[in-house]
Structure 1
Amino acid sequence: MTGYVMFRKHRLGTRGGGVILYIKESIQAYEITLAKEAECEEAVWCNIVTGNSTLTVGLVYRSPNISMEENEKIHNAIKEVRKRDCIIMGDFNHGHIQWTSLQCTGREDQEFLNLVQDSFLSQHVLEATKDENVLEKVLSSQKEFVDNVKICEPLGCSDHNQIHFIIKVKGERNRK
């Protein structure tokens, strides 16, 4: 996409898949690597320079048939970046969590909900993103980082709705 820097991570061992994150060229951003125990197969992490600090932004895809080992890596990644100013987004395939009442069914959903709560992260997507489920999440370390969340029609042939939102931090633009 013209005017954007692309950060991506391919799905290993298969054709297609993976994650891709676009950040405007005018925003100073660079890819980061997490600790080995937090390196997820389908996640990409960047730091965005925001004045005198950085905001860590992560994009994660969690398959519905994920291995226990890979699920643990996603949890470790969240535990690592929660210590920073961060926004973590993606399709986590935890569709049975009621975010308004903080209730859920299923062990994996409960573990994820506990992780989000124990990490003091705010979940900003409260409407269904696929059928009746809230599969996509936008989590932030500070509630005021995310504003104006809108659930929009799917893009192209996707069966998931788009999520549009504004990240509200002060930043420095690249000088070119």
Structure 2
Amino acid sequence: MDEEPTKSLWVRIKGNAGAGDIMVGVCYRPPDQGDQADEALYRQIGAASHSQALVLMGDFNNPNICWRGNTAGHKQSRKFLECVDDNFLLQVVEDPLRRGVMLDLILTKKEDLVGDVKLKGSLGCSDHEMVEFKILRAVRRVHNKLTTLDFRRADFGLFRDLVGRIPWDKVLEGRGAQDSWLIFKGHLLQAQE
């Protein structure tokens, strides 16, 4: 099945040593765009949102979205809002741009990635306002000291055997939900070790 074409451009900006890459997208969604093209755009946004450093900007032509209340009055706008929510995106433009309606948006995964958003007037005879902003990035990436498990190397057979040896009906008998959870969690973490 051929993918419905969308009016979008995606660029990965390679970070210097110690700084991660940034995914930048520019999109235009025509007001009369059909459901198939919308779904193709939402799939692109979903794929791009795997990047923690994502800045997505453009004219999405969803005039009936209330960003303060996170509500929409039209089916297509609700679908777009669902896409934004499902991909944990934040909309950072605060002032309506055209005729009191916010059509031109800047969406990002991290609240502190975009700053100094300013409206700069129209360019030529366009009815769009220019939106100027800075992409903020830390010079050095903070190294997380939280250890994570490598599930590719796990021995799930052994894990299942260790957890299966516990006589759960006797261990949890007469316990409340909180106590049962703590006992289960303790045995689970012990087996994990």
TM-score w.r.t. structure 2 length? 0.66
How far does residue 37 in structure 1 lie from its aligned partner after superposition? 7.3
Greater displacement, 138-147 / 47-56: 47-56
Question: 1:13 — aligned with what?
Answer: none
Given that 2:98 and 2:128 are in contact with CA atoms closer than 8 Å, whether structure 1 keeps it comes out as: yes
Instruction: Report percent identity of matched pairs.
Output: 28
Displacement of 1:38 after TM fit?
Answer: 6.8
Q: Which amino acid aligns with 2:124?
A: G
Judging by fraction of residues, say which structure has more helix. Answer: 2
Match of 1:43 in 2: 8
1:53 corresponds in structure 2 to 20
Aligned residue in 2 for 1:27: none
Amino acid at match of 1:114: E
Paired with 1:39 and 1:46, the residues of 2 have a C-alpha distance of: 20
Counterparts of residues 53-72 of structure 1 (less than 5 Å): 53-72=20-39
Listed as ranges, the gaps of 5+ residues in structure 1 are: 1-35, 172-176
Provide the C-alpha distance between the structure 1 equivalents of 2:68 and 2:84, rounded to a whole number of angstroms. Answer: 14
Asked if 1:138 corresponds to 2:106, the answer is yes
Within 2, Cα distance between the matches of 1:118 and 1:108?
15
Counterpart AA for 2:67: W
Q: Contact 2:4/2:36 (CA < 8 Å) preserved in 1?
A: no
Partner of 1:96: 64
Cα distance in 2, alignment partners of residues 92 and 41 from structure 1: 12
Distance in 2, Cα, partners of 1:72 & 1:134: 21
Specify every segment of 5 or more residues in structure 2 that has no aligned partner in the other structure, as ranges: 140-193
* Residue type at the aligned position of 2:130: Q
Whether the 8 Å CA contact 1:144–1:168 is kept in 2: the answer is yes
Does the 8 A contact of 2:6 with 2:41 survive in 1? no
Q: What is the DSSP-based 3-state SS (H/G/I as helix, E as strand, rest coil) of the residue aligned with 2:79?
A: helix
Instruction: Sort the Cα spacing of 1:149 and 1:160 in 2 relative to 1 into closer, same or farther, 3 A.
Output: same
1:165 to 133, 148, 152: 133
**What is the aligned residue count?**
137
The one-character-per-residue Cα deviations of 1:35-79 (angstroms, maximum 9, x if unpaired) are x97774311111111224211101000000112221111111111
Q: RCO higher in 1 or 2 (8 Å CA, sep ≥ 6)?
A: 1
TM-superposed deviation, 1:151: 1.7
Please, what TM-score do these two structures have when normalized by structure 1? Answer: 0.72
Determine if contact 1:50/1:170 at 8 Å carries over to the other structure. no
Q: What are the Cα deviations for residues 95-149 of structure 1, in whole angstroms up to 9, with x where unaligned? A: 1111111122111111111111121111011211111110011000111110011
Q: 1:79 aligns with which of 2, 21, 46?
A: 46
CA RMSD of aligned residues (A): 2.0
Task: Look at both structures and tell me which one has the larger radius of gyration over its CA atoms.
Answer: 2
Q: Flag the structure with higher strand content.
A: 1
